[in-house]
């Protein structure tokens, strides 16, 4: 499983590139594909450059693919792949559907479109903790008042993220607090992802996706938009188009994999957000991280004895 935006941190990928030729090759290919040193932004920062959405998305993808390549060369190959939002593109590279260079160029455009269609300060996202989806949906309906606010990331039974116009999100936060949410807090993001305000970005990206070369996945891919398994390039392409405005159905995605008998999950890429969400979704599932040298080595040792 591959993380999305928010898992980035200066220095990510540096250890992997320093110790594994397969990871180093991924960053070399990324720099060549984009025409600038993405590797330097990953390895050195500054954090301001890494936080720009057009940089963040290819940077996380590159680190995630590098980590997965290291796992692969050590005999760890997935039966399924899934990625959270942006992470779905990382999953598609590992599934053989997208070439690395094409995926990097797509997510850089995706980041640019998402940032440009809603000016900074006009949109917002917020996490609502320990509140049922039905209650969150009702709060969003009441808070909208002619604007946009809706569930954007269905992350776990305990965490739902909402997105929309800033004032509508503010109203929803206050309603959530008044109706018993454990916490309701605004997130430090640059745009309101996965809501109707992203439709212009979805339209722009759809044209790029239609032109992108895609092959049928060699490994089944879980689609964000509906938590179903994609086996063909056409299913993948259609899912990526819907993904920009549709909520990320992460809870359902993980439950779909568990229903298919998946017991071991490896989070390939920076951070451990998805491993934490998986514990909330299904504590019986086993999650490992592979984002830096120590976590890769620990995961490889654990997986060999699993």
Tens-place pLDDT, residues 137-163: 999 999 999 999 999 999 999 999 999
Is the pLDDT assigned to residue 258 strictly greater than 90?
yes
Q: Which residues contact 298 (CB under 8 A, 6 or more apart)?
A: 288, 289
Whether the model clears a pTM of 0.85, i.e. scores above it, the answer is yes
Q: Which DSSP letter does residue 150 get? A: E
Single out the catalytic residue among 7, 39, 64, 85: 85
Is the pLDDT assigned to residue 38 strictly greater than 90?
yes
- Region(s) of the chain under CATH 3.30.70.250: 123-189
Active site (annotated) includes residue 84: no
Which residues are bridge partners to 267 per DSSP?
289
Is the pLDDT assigned to residue 52 strictly greater than 90?
no
Where does 131-165 have alpha helices with state H?
133-144
Mean pLDDT across the stretch 116-121?
A: 87
CATH of 14-117+197-305, one of 3.40.50.880, 1.10.10.10, 3.40.366.10, 3.40.50.2300: 3.40.366.10
- C-alpha neighbours within 13 Å on the C-beta side of residue 40: 7
The domain covering 123-189 belongs, at the CATH homologous superfamily level, to Malonyl-CoA ACP transacylase, ACP-binding (3.30.70.250)
Mean pLDDT across the stretch 243-255?
A: 97
Report the distance separating Cα 51 and Cα 59, nearest Å: 10
Active site (annotated) includes residue 85: yes
Give the model's confidence band at 297: pLDDT under 50 very low, under 70 low, under 90 confident, else very high: very high
Q: Which two tokens stand for residue 80?
A: 């399924």
Q: Which DSSP letter does residue 228 get? A: P
Report the distance separating Cα 182 and Cα 212, nearest Å: 43
Single out the catalytic residue among 22, 90, 194, 295: 194
Which residues are bridge partners to 161 per DSSP?
127, 153
Is the pLDDT assigned to residue 192 strictly greater than 80?
yes
- Region(s) of the chain under CATH 3.40.366.10: 14-117+197-305
In angstroms, the first-to-last Cα distance of the chain is 18
């Amino acid at each position: 499983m591959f993380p999305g935006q928010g898992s980035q941190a200066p220095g990510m990928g540096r250890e992997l590139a320093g110790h594994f030729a397969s990871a180093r090759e991924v960053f070399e290919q990324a720099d060549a594909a984009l025409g600038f040193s993405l590797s330097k932004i990953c390895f050195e920062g500054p954090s301001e450059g890494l936080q720009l959405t057009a940089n963040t998305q290819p940077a996380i993808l590159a680190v995630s693919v590098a980590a997965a390549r290291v796992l692969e060369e050590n005999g760890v190959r997935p039966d399924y792949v899934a990625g959270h939002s942006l992470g779905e593109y990382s999953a598609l590279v590992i599934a053989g559907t997208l070439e690395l260079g094409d995926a990097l160029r797509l997510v850089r455009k995706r980041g640019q479109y998402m940032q440009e269609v809603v000016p900074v300060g006009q949109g917002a996202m917020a996490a609502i903790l320990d509140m049922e989806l039905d209650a969150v949906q009702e709060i969003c309906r009441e808070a909208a008042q002619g604007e946009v606010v809706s569930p954007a990331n269905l992350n776990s039974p305990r965490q739902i993220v909402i997105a929309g116009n800033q004032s509508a999100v503010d109203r929803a936060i206050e309603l959530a607090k008044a109706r018993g949410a454990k916490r309701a807090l605004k997130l430090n993001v640059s745009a309101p992802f996965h809501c109707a305000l992203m439709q212009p970005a979805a339209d722009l990206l759809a044209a790029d996706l239609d032109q992108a070369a895609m092959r049928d996945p060699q490994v089944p891919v879980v689609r964000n938009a509906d938590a179903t398994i994609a086996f063909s390039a056409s299913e993948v392409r259609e899912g990526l188009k819907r993904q920009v405005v549709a909520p990320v159905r992460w809870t359902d995605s993980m439950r779909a994999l568990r229903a298919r008998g998946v017991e071991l999950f490896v989070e390939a890429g920076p951070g451990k957000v998805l491993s934490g969400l998986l514990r909330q979704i299904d504590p019986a599932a086993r999650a490992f991280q592979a984002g830096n040298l120590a976590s890769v080595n620990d995961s490889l040792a654990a997986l060999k004895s699993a």
